[in-house]
């Protein structure tokens, strides 16, 4: 597909194919290879001025670097992606990037900063009615409060998240939230 897109000078198609190849490699655990494809896609989207796709790819680069443990580098990409989402009015993207930033700060032990970012992401998800993002952000908030030792609050958040993931049929999320609830109840004794 990438070669065909090049043959017919379909730069958007070529960029999307490269981005999809990056995502496939990322999903297979080949993160370094994913970065190569994401960088190629990013170059195309910047050349043609497709800010929406540029933001998506920049966020994916953040995820890749986060997965590699290069959290500070991931934060740089997340902040850039967030700026693009805000510039073009992509509220779902803005919420996702805020949540990813929260994850990065939680990883770095900056729990209050993570909570602040998660709360902003949650407000956006609720405002636009994006239930998957609402559920995952509630789970992220639960993790932050768990890290603070506020177990009862973490349970409340995980239970709210569980209602949503069940409502939308997201079985993986249901498993994650049930596991987190179990871990929190264990911490409570």
CA separation, residue 10 to residues 2, 18, 23, 38, 182 (Å): 9, 12, 20, 17, 50
**Closest-CA residue to 53 (of 21, 85, 91):** 85
SS (H, E, C) 62-79: HHHHHHCCCHHHHHHHHH
pLDDT of residue 10: 83
Distance CA 20, CA 119 (A): 30
Q: Model's pTM, two decimal places?
A: 0.90
Low pLDDT (below 70) residues in the chain = 1-8
pLDDT of residue 6: 54
92 with 59: CB under 8 angstroms? no
pLDDT of residue 81: 98
Task: Please spell the DSSP secondary structure of 29-70, one letter per residue.
Answer: T-HHHHHHHHHHHHHHHHHHT-HHHHHHHHHHHHHHHHHTT-
146 with 154: CB under 8 angstroms? yes
Scored b (16 or more CB within 10 A) or e, 138-153 reads bbbbbbbbbeeeebeb
Q: At CA 112, angle to CA 108 and CA 117, rounded to 5?
A: 85
Q: Which domains does the chain have, with CATH numbers?
A: 1-82 (1.25.40.10), 90-189 (1.25.40.10)
DSSP-assigned letter for residue 189: -
């Amino acid at each position: 597909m990438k070669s065909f897109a090049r043959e017919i000078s379909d730069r958007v198609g070529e960029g999307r194919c490269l981005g999809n190849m990056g995502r496939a490699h990322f999903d297979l655990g080949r993160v370094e290879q994913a970065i190569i494809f994401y960088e190629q896609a990013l170059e195309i989207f910047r050349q043609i001025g497709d800010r929406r796709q540029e933001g998506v790819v920049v966020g994916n680069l953040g995820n890749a670097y986060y997965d590699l443990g290069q959290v500070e580098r991931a934060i740089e990409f997340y902040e850039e992606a967030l700026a693009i989402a805000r510039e073009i009015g992509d509220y779902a993207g803005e919420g996702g990037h805020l949540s990813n930033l929260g994850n990065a700060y939680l990883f770095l032990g900056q729990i209050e900063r993570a909570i602040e970012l998660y709360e902003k992401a949650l407000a956006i998800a609720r405002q636009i009615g994006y239930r998957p993002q609402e559920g995952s952000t509630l789970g992220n908030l639960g993790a932050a409060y768990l890290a603070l030792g506020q177990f009862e609050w973490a349970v409340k958040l995980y239970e709210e998240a569980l209602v949503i993931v069940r409502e939308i049929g997201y079985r993986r999320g249901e498993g994650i939230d049930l596991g987190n609830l179990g871990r929190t109840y264990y911490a409570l004794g």
